[in-house]
Structure 1
Amino acid sequence: MKYNILLSLFLLFALRAVEAQQMDLNQCIRYALDNNLAITNKNLEESLNNELYMQTKRNFLPQIYGGSSANKQYGRSIDPTTNSFVNHDFFSMNFYVDTQLELFRGFSRINSMKFQKLNLLIGLEESKQKKMEIAFEVMNHYYDLLYFTRLHEIVQEQLRLTILNTEKIKTMIGLGLKSESDLFEMKAQQATETHNLLLAENQYDLAAISLKSLMNWPLSKELNPVDESMENTIAIQPSADRVYEAALLHMPSVWKAELDVEAAGKQLAIAKGNLAPTLTLGGGIYTNFADSRKEESHNGLAEQTIPFMEQWSQNLAQSVYLNLQIPIFNRWYGNSQLKQAKWRKTMAENRQEEEQQKLYRLVNEDVQQLNSLQKELDLLETKKEATQEAFLIAKKKLDQGLISIIEFYTAKNQLAQAETEWIRTLLQLKIKEKTIRIYLGEELF
């Protein structure tokens, strides 16, 4: 019964591996960037910022608007066509088309256009930063999944060896070469490793769910990481200062902080411009109609209302004007906006310096961890090779009856632990190496 359960576990995991779609790290990152909802929202924000920028360009165009009104007057009132008093009811209509063009307002429109252009660029850098953050998250979850895949393989191999040794011990007991206590030790070890196999599968499933959720991959669809080379081939040995200087040139967070300072400067210029006078050029065309305006009929016997089109032409008027508006007192609103803009600019400069300090700290930490992991991996590789030799020797001694089952499994467990630590450290080293390469400007996705 136990062997049937174990066989079912092996076959189930193997079948899932065959049916699952194989994807490497770059494919997972690209899929996440194409399907992540946060990236979709960032793309919409880019479109919004671009529209705001285009509108600031359109603000240089003149405003044109028209209108009309209709009135019914009763009693004593002024005839709009003659500006004289009349004592009877009449109907009138007014029509106009006006246009205005702002000539000067402290260069506020120019600075507003530049500010929105900077906002557009800031949005692009934010989008790049979001994509980079998602790429880093996918990379970490991808290597987590790869680690648990390898861990499952190690535990599975350990269990397979235990099953073989259990059968061998049974044969040796039949020959009188081993005692029943050795068999019980084997069965206890087999139960422990079966439990470890179940734990490894659960950890694999949880890691797979995390990666799928981040990628927006269907949870019901299997996904397996491509089996990467597990050789220690890390060749990069950068200096922290060189990596930092390179990162300053292209990291989105740094560029965004710099653009924020420029945008705050434009906001300050806009606030100053709002304190300046506003000069506007305008013009308009006006006309009206009233049924109170009469003329004699052709036979001279009665008066009739002058026709609509004739009044339209006769009453047509044009105007051109310049309007100068000087702000004198607006409850200190302009001065308050100016102070706020100055403080925002100082805050943006502080954030820029803070972002550079943060990047410097992260680069130094990552470079230090890269070097430390490389040294640790070299030591673990030596340890893995030594425990491999120790396990082979222990296996021969067990066959010869020179050591106990407990001593054999001590060597076996030490080998499994050494392999697990080596794989974990190697994958951590790969993450740090890719991180450093991104700092250096390499496109890894």
Structure 2
Amino acid sequence: MNRVLSFLFLLAGVNSHAQTYTLQQAIDTALSSNIPVKQSGLLVQTSKVYLNQAMLNRLPYLTADVTHGIYNGRSIDPSSNGYVNQNLNSANYQLNSGFVLFNGGSIQSTVKQNEAAYESSKLTWQQAKDNLVLNVILAYLQVLNNEDLVASAMNQAGVSQKQLERLDVLNKQGAIKPSEFSDLKGQYMNDQLAIVSAKTALEESKLSLAQLMNKQYDKNMKLERIDVSEFLANYTASSQEVYQSALEQFPLVKSVELQTKSFAYGSKAARGALFPTVSIGGGLNTNYSSIAQNAAGKISYDNQLKNNVSTSVGLGISIPIFNRLQQRNRVKLADIQLKNSELEEERTKTLLEQQIDQAYLNMTNAYDRYKVLLEQVAAYDESFKAAEVRYNSGVGTSIDYLTAKDRLDRANINLIIAKYDFVLRKKVLDYYSNPSTLRQ
């Protein structure tokens, strides 16, 4: 098999510069290049910004205001608060700060809402990466599957070619019926068509893998072989065990649970806004006037700033009495969002259980098919060997020989497909039960 694969790659024109990927390299390349995964990562950064802002909203605010003015004609002198009718320049400097003491817990609930949303976005990102990893693994195995099918088709063609060469000699000697030679030649051409079809499927699977890796398709791309025989043992866990494990470890499940938690805090935040808001604030103020003076004459800029300093401290209560029911409708909308999130969580878990049941059924059927085909290949192999001996000795007919060969060829192809199909199905269940195993 390995010699045939080497010959296949030689025929395909593989050169020494062809990129060879291990499974881990293919996964790493896809994770670093896949655009949807990168976009999901940006959503995590966005959620982090919202969380940071929600946490900063708990701090006091601090503002500074600077105002300079030039007045002509009748105006108010800031130094005396009296009317003057002359040109003046003025300046005012203010520093204000405030802090919310109580608003029904709305600020803190908003922080928790954004914390849950941020954690949910990280798990959604992880789910996107896990989905990609699974798809890369499946695509990688599909390439290996098609490589084996190409090798099998070439082996089948090789057997036909040897027999055809033997019959060609006999046909030229008149030792066999011409129809026997033409029958086998037809079979040989059928084997050639099978090689073409298998090679086409191989290149299509390479293209699919390259697209997942966000790489340009290269027909010379090579993959490191994996011994799939170690994955051919029967699956021991039940579908219910897989589902229970998925509820504990599947990122999507944790993500929707955190989304529900986020919306629950969003509802609390909306209700908190129905309560009065108690806040405390203070300010520092000073000003300057170009016409300010005292008995000694015009007051300097620095002295005015020092002399005109004033401070203020205030405690305020804002009571929502009637605002056209806007806030109460916000509460209703928040409750609707929470209910919808709860339904989405329930739907996600139900759909997950259904998908696992289907995947488990597919895996079980694939394993049963694989076991049956193992026995079928062994049986048809014995039949073909016997038919070949009889045909070579002149006892059997070409029809018997070709029938036995066709059965063995089909069984071998079906066995290869069944083997990889079973491995793929197991990988899907591993994805559900413990996604972290795919990341290794």
**TM-score where L is the length of structure 1:** 0.91
Deviation at 1:39, TM superposition (A): 2.2
1:120-131 pair list within 5 angstroms: 120-131=118-129
Cα distance between partner residues in 1 of 2:63 and 2:418? 71
Matched, 1:263 2:262: yes
SS in 1 for 2:394: coil
Deviation at 1:399, TM superposition (A): 0.8
Instruction: Tell me if structure 1 keeps the 8 A contact 2:8–2:151.
Output: no
Report what 2:413 is aligned to.
420
Deviation at 1:13, TM superposition (A): 3.6
Runs of 4 or more, structure 1, over 6 Å off, are none
The aligned length equals: 432
Letter in 2 for 1:58: L
Identity over the aligned pairs, expressed in percent? 24
Matched, 1:377 2:370: yes
Q: Deviations over 1:218-274 (max 9, x none)?
A: 423613241424477314322222221111111111111211111110110111011
Instruction: Tell me if structure 1 keeps the 8 A contact 2:232–2:422.
Output: no
SS in 2 for 1:331: coil
Matched, 1:444 2:438: yes
Report what 1:332 is aligned to.
325
Instruction: Tell me if structure 1 keeps the 8 A contact 2:234–2:367.
Output: no
Report what 2:3 is aligned to.
none
Report what 2:353 is aligned to.
360
Letter in 1 for 2:227: E
Instruction: Tell me if structure 2 keeps the 8 A contact 1:142–1:225.
Output: no
Q: Which deviates more from structure 2 when the two are superposed, residues 105-114 or residues 368-377? A: 368-377
1:250-289 pair list within 5 angstroms: 250-289=249-288
Instruction: Tell me if structure 2 keeps the 8 A contact 1:26–1:444.
Output: no
Letter in 2 for 1:131: K
Deviation at 1:137, TM superposition (A): 1.2
Q: Deviations over 1:351-401 (max 9, x none)?
A: 111111112112222222222222211111111111111111111121122
Cα distance between partner residues in 2 of 1:228 and 1:166? 34
Instruction: Tell me if structure 2 keeps the 8 A contact 1:230–1:423.
Output: no
Matched, 1:29 2:22: no
Instruction: Tell me if structure 2 keeps the 8 A contact 1:166–1:186.
Output: yes
1:13-162 pair list within 5 angstroms: 13=11, 15-16=13-14, 20-162=18-160
Instruction: Tell me if structure 2 keeps the 8 A contact 1:294–1:305.
Output: yes
Instruction: Tell me if structure 2 keeps the 8 A contact 1:111–1:270.
Output: yes
Instruction: Tell me if structure 1 keeps the 8 A contact 2:228–2:423.
Output: no
Instruction: Tell me if structure 2 keeps the 8 A contact 1:79–1:290.
Output: yes
Instruction: Tell me if structure 2 keeps the 8 A contact 1:17–1:224.
Output: no
Instruction: Tell me if structure 2 keeps the 8 A contact 1:238–1:367.
Output: no
Deviation at 1:336, TM superposition (A): 1.1
Cα distance between partner residues in 2 of 1:250 and 1:244? 10
The 1:10–1:371 alpha-carbon spacing in structure 2 relative to 1, beyond 3 Å, is closer
Instruction: Tell me if structure 1 keeps the 8 A contact 2:277–2:318.
Output: yes
Gaps spanning 5+ residues in structure 1: where? 1-8, 298-303
SS in 2 for 1:327: coil
Cα distance between partner residues in 2 of 1:216 and 1:85? 75
Letter in 1 for 2:298: T
Instruction: Tell me if structure 2 keeps the 8 A contact 1:95–1:287.
Output: yes
Provide the alpha-carbon RMSD of the alignment: 2.2
1:210-221 pair list within 5 angstroms: 210-220=208-218
Letter in 2 for 1:181: S
Instruction: Tell me if structure 2 keeps the 8 A contact 1:162–1:186.
Output: yes
Instruction: Tell me if structure 1 keeps the 8 A contact 2:232–2:419.
Output: no
Q: Which deviates more from structure 2 when the two are superposed, residues 30-39 or residues 79-88? A: 30-39
Deviation at 1:40, TM superposition (A): 2.3
**TM-score where L is the length of structure 2:** 0.92
Instruction: Tell me if structure 2 keeps the 8 A contact 1:276–1:326.
Output: yes
